[in-house]
Amino acid sequence: MSNVKKRPEVLAPAGTLEKLKVAVDYGADAVFVGGQAYGLRSRAGNFSMEEMLEGINYAHERGAKVYVAANMVTHEGNEDGAGAWFRELRDMGLDAVIVSDPALIEICATEAPGLEIHLSTQASATNVETFHFWKEYGLTRVVLAREVSMEELAEIRRRTDIEIEAFVHGAMCISYSGRCTLSNHMSDRDANRGGCSQSCRWKYDLYDMPFGQERKSIQGEIPEEFSMSAVDMSMIDHIPDMVENGVDSLKIEGRMKSIHYVSTVANCYKAAVDAYMESPEKFEAIKQDLIDEMWKVAQRELATGFYYGTPSENEQLFGARRKIPQYKFVGEVVAFNKDNMTATIRQRNVIMEGDRVEFYGPGFRHFECFIEDLHDAKGNKIDRAPNPMELLTITVPQEVKAGDMIRACKEGLINLYQKDGTSKTVRA
């Protein structure tokens, strides 16, 4: 292998065409989307073929790639029509499909030759021999199982030359590589065919059940009902390990997340990769800023998954939250008038005169100000705008650009764990 440090691809989720454009604008080198068949996110805003073509063209015009997740486990008959579907994607210029089921891999390889195939994390690739098997079958990339350690990743990279895609941010599944039937039993929705109801994230009670006596809930005797849910993954402060161990693509989970989430996380990982490729010192200088930025968007608590050891009880969701984001997404810039320093914004949440807000945009641009001279679309002066998607104008102290996002800095309550295991509430 070459000792030249290779820049990894930042791969962002795109549940809708709008999110695809936001991800690309905010620095993603590639996006992964779902079509209206063969995927594992039936409730995401999956792309029609017309939207797929528009998204592919939008990304390609800006130097980015598009991959389609076709990672369901097929039952008999589910594969009907897959050959024609793969051919249509290939012919519109799609860069690759992400597949786990051998039946769909076989259909794609034989009926849509020329379309690259990436092995989905659902296939649980955890060792060198698995990589060799799929390379011989013609696959060009393998998405690592999320249960692989950093040491194992390094060994796989040392002994293979197929591309490695590894998750760096987003939700973790409580089951191995997402292969779970809990949703099937709890809600009659097949998790492996796109219908997961995330039963592991429900709250579950505990009962005292003495022999021969009526069961008794112990709710109230514990601070919160238990779930079976892991905290989210974040590797933003470990980008050097991912780069030095030869990961080709840094994958961000979250096709069902908001444009606020997609823009923030893509922006952060793009800045992190750019900084480290420039120099380790540059990355260290902005690392804390990147970590802080992540906490401006709604998410669960964060850990590093399996990369540095098997997760413990501290990487599970129960009890009082240790950290809560203190920002709320309120709008996006539609236009900017430099002559009078006014911005036209599309509201996404309640905005009030005097709110302290932060504007941010691609390239990790930020500044804070207060909402001043708030007017509605008709030019009327208002002090509160409660209606989502309304067009408003405000005065800003410096230039903004169309596509920039706006967060409001909201005070709130944060639950903090104490050393003795109890919690207390403080005002942010």
Residue 312: per-residue pLDDT: 82
DSSP at 140: -
Give the class (CATH, top level) of 327-409: mainly beta
**361, 395, 372: which is closest to 25 by C-alpha?**
361
Domain boundaries, the chain: 9-172+230-311, 177-217, 327-409
Residue 101: per-residue pLDDT: 92
Could you list the beta-strand ranges (E) of 210-314: 216-217, 232-234, 249-252, 302-303
The total of other beta-carbon atoms located within 10 Å of residue 366's CB is 15
For 294, the 3-state DSSP assignment is helix
Residue 216: per-residue pLDDT: 74
**Would 9-172+230-311 and 327-409 be classified into the same CATH topology?**
no
* 3-class secondary structure per residue, 281-300: HHHHHHHHHHHHHHCCCCCC
CB 321 within 8 A of CB 402: no
Could you list the beta-strand ranges (E) of 153-263: 163-170, 207-208, 216-217, 232-234, 249-252
Q: What is the DSSP string of 39-89?
A: -S-TTS-PBPHHHHHHHHHHHHHTT-EEEEEE-PPPPTTTTTTHHHHHHHH
Residue 40: per-residue pLDDT: 58
Residue 425: per-residue pLDDT: 35
Angle at 204 (CA atoms; ends 201, 206), nearest 5 degrees: 155
Residue 422: per-residue pLDDT: 40
Tell me the whole-structure pTM to 2 decimals.
0.86
Q: pLDDT 10s digit of each residue in the chain, 428 long?
A: 445 689 999 999 999 999 999 999 999 999 999 987 776 555 556 899 999 999 999 999 999 999 999 988 888 888 889 999 999 999 999 999 999 999 999 999 999 999 999 999 989 999 999 999 999 999 999 999 999 999 999 999 999 999 999 999 998 877 766 666 677 777 777 666 566 777 767 777 777 777 777 777 766 665 566 667 788 999 999 999 999 999 999 999 999 899 999 999 999 999 999 999 999 999 999 999 999 999 898 778 889 999 999 888 777 776 666 667 778 999 999 999 999 999 999 999 999 999 999 999 999 999 999 999 999 999 999 999 998 899 999 999 999 999 999 999 865 433 333 334 443 333 33
Residue 419: per-residue pLDDT: 37
What length is written for the chain? 428
Residues 9-172+230-311, CATH architecture: Alpha-Beta Barrel (3.20)
Residue 178: per-residue pLDDT: 67
